[in-house]
Structure 1
Amino acid sequence: MTTKPDHSQYSFAAHGRPGVDDVPESKLGFLRAYEGLRGNTSVAVDDATLKQRVALTLELTYDELHVFKCIQSMMFLEPRITQHSAYPAILSGLRESSDASGRKPRLLDVGCCYGTDVRSFLLEGVSASQLTVTDLDPGYWRVGQKALFVDEQNVKDVATTWGDLSLGVESISAPPPEGLPSWKSSHKYVAASAVIHTLSKTQGTGLIRTVYDILETGGLFVGTTGASTQEGAWHNGGRWLHDEKSLAREFEAAGFKNIVLKQRERFGEDQPQTANAEEAAKPVDDRVRVFIEFSASK
């Protein structure tokens, strides 16, 4: 976080900075629940304090990092992974006892941002040592620790790696999580919530194939992504928006099986939108998009 971000590139920073008064109390439930895990039960933290932490999180982000739409609209206040239909099974799997080698199952959160999703697992009693986070820039994770959740001690055992996973598993410079010989076949679960639609077509293909390599045999890749009724470039060609068929092909080409794709409500919004014939004729940038929940196994 040493250089100012270029907010002219696909950034929602120009939409204005939300302030304390813009933070909805109805979305503070997860932060309230997480307070007990911080060990500060003797000190009551009211909603005004939580709102100030959210405002500080946004201030640091706007000054130092790229502002995605989900940040500008404060979707990070609630975990996304808990909305996935596979969440109960993943949570149960992470609670399993160690395997024959003494290793507990692990989950990797791709595009972790501030780390809301992994903290949902901590709140459910999953050990931090079973969790790994990654993002293009570590700045979001650090802001989450210092400003939003204020919990560096809670997440000190969460493994981290930063950079572009689409470049392949061999490109990961961080050592694998403690006790593991390699990043290959290292995690039982990988989650990527609202990530694939922020990537170019080449990056998306690379990410899916890297995830396949990171998963152990029988492992599960889950997530959500924005999509369209017809695949194509968007955001002035810098990103790729899949449709259901093209996304399924990417998973199949990487080697995944048991691929399940289904339209679902956009996180934090109303019903998914569908395109009629008139909409389908529009350029991809203007087309009404849908949201897809996916799961695929290795």
Structure 2
Amino acid sequence: MTFTSDIPLDPSLYRLDPAALEFFQQQTGITEEDDLKHHILAVQKRVFAAASYPCIYNFGFTSLRISRHPKYQSVLQLGRDHRNPLLLDLGCCFGNDARKAVADGWPIIRIVSTDLRREFWDLGHVLFRSTPTSFPSHFIAGDCLDPAFLSSESVHTSRSPPDLSSLVSLNDLHGKLTAIHASSIFHLFSAEQQASLVRAVAALLSPASGSIVFGSHVGLPKQGTIREEVFGMTVDMYCYDPESWNKLWEAAGPFKTEAVLKEVTTPNGEIGWKMVWSATMTTKS
């Protein structure tokens, strides 16, 4: 969902809550708030010219979605308890959620981030003033709707830990993941595409009890299509309600599901709904 890049950016939309401010100060080394704002605005301008996404326009890339999730602390505990924990950040954009997990203790070399374009990850190094050497986490670019990159049909049966340095697709991770974070992803697709993606993501999880996929995205009290005005353009978005969303995951595997709606205020001042959800594996391998 991209738009023309000739839309003027609105610096007044910039805001960092206290947790995000502290995180960006620590990660970038820029402690003065005005200097940090100038740095983030400069990166936003550079990125928006190449990829005109709403989340870039409204500074969604500065939010810490992963650490606000109610399952976050239990996910971090999985990282401490497992011998070879593996976390996937699906639709990572600049990698702020992966970096937050690392800052809070998840092993840096046991995280894989993915998005449609490598450019996002590279610009994440610009945003956080890092390098592949100083932040040696793994990234792989690809289209999560492409079966060659992510399919519900598992073709890899090895139980040995995967070589993350040589990944060519997410299919190499079938049955290997301890946790998967997926926020602001599913609502970008049609109802059928979302259902297919649920099955494909479920196939990536380890069958061990406690493996979890969690995230948040736009939802509705009753599933259906909503129409929004974004940058003066009309966009149709299909959204599930908690009950129908849970059913998708329960059909994809032996999951304990949780999903709740939270009322939110959109950047244009309207009231909307965010669904916060998780699906936890309930059987052992």
Q: TM-score, normalising length from structure 1?
A: 0.75
Alpha carbons of 1:245 and 1:22: their partners in 2 closer, same or farther (altered >3 Å)? closer
Q: Structure 1 residue 182 and structure 2 residue 172: aligned?
A: yes
Q: Structure 1 residue 75 and structure 2 residue 60: aligned?
A: yes
Task: Specify the alignment match of 1:139 in structure 2.
Answer: 119
Q: Structure 1 residue 161 and structure 2 residue 144: aligned?
A: no
Task: Specify the alignment match of 1:23 in structure 2.
Answer: 14
Distance 2:134 2:141 in 1: 16
SS of corresponding position for 2:206: strand
Alpha carbons of 1:171 and 1:76: their partners in 2 closer, same or farther (altered >3 Å)? closer
Answer yes or no: is the 8 Å Cα contact 1:166–1:205 preserved in 2: no
Answer yes or no: is the 8 Å Cα contact 1:264–1:291 preserved in 2: yes
Distance 2:102 2:2 in 1: 34
Any gaps of 5 or more consecutive residues in structure 2? Answer: 152-161, 228-233
Structure 2 counterpart of 1:295, one-letter code = S
Q: How does 1:88-99 map to 2 (within 5 A)?
A: 88-96=73-81, 98=83
Structure 1 counterpart of 2:3, one-letter code = H
Any gaps of 5 or more consecutive residues in structure 1? Answer: 99-103, 274-287
Task: Specify the alignment match of 1:63 in structure 2.
Answer: 49
Task: Specify the alignment match of 2:212 in structure 1.
Answer: 220
Distance 1:267 1:109 in 2: 25
Answer yes or no: is the 8 Å Cα contact 2:264–2:272 preserved in 1: no
Distance 1:155 1:267 in 2: 37
Q: TM-score, normalising length from structure 2?
A: 0.78
Task: Specify the alignment match of 2:275 in structure 1.
Answer: 292
Structure 1 counterpart of 2:94, one-letter code = Y
SS of corresponding position for 1:167: coil
Answer yes or no: is the 8 Å Cα contact 1:167–1:206 preserved in 2: no
Task: Specify the alignment match of 1:251 in structure 2.
Answer: 249
Distance 1:166 1:205 in 2: 11
Task: Specify the alignment match of 1:281 in structure 2.
Answer: none
1:130-181: CA deviations, max 9, x gaps? 11111122222222211x211124664322222222334x4359x8624999
1:216-252: CA deviations, max 9, x gaps? 0131010112112332234567542112232122212
Structure 1 vs Structure 2 CA RMSD: 3.1
Q: CA deviation at 1:66?
A: 3.0
Aligned positions, number: 258
Answer yes or no: is the 8 Å Cα contact 2:250–2:256 preserved in 1: no
Q: Structure 1 residue 151 and structure 2 residue 130: aligned?
A: yes
Task: Specify the alignment match of 1:101 in structure 2.
Answer: none
Alpha carbons of 1:33 and 1:297: their partners in 2 closer, same or farther (altered >3 Å)? closer
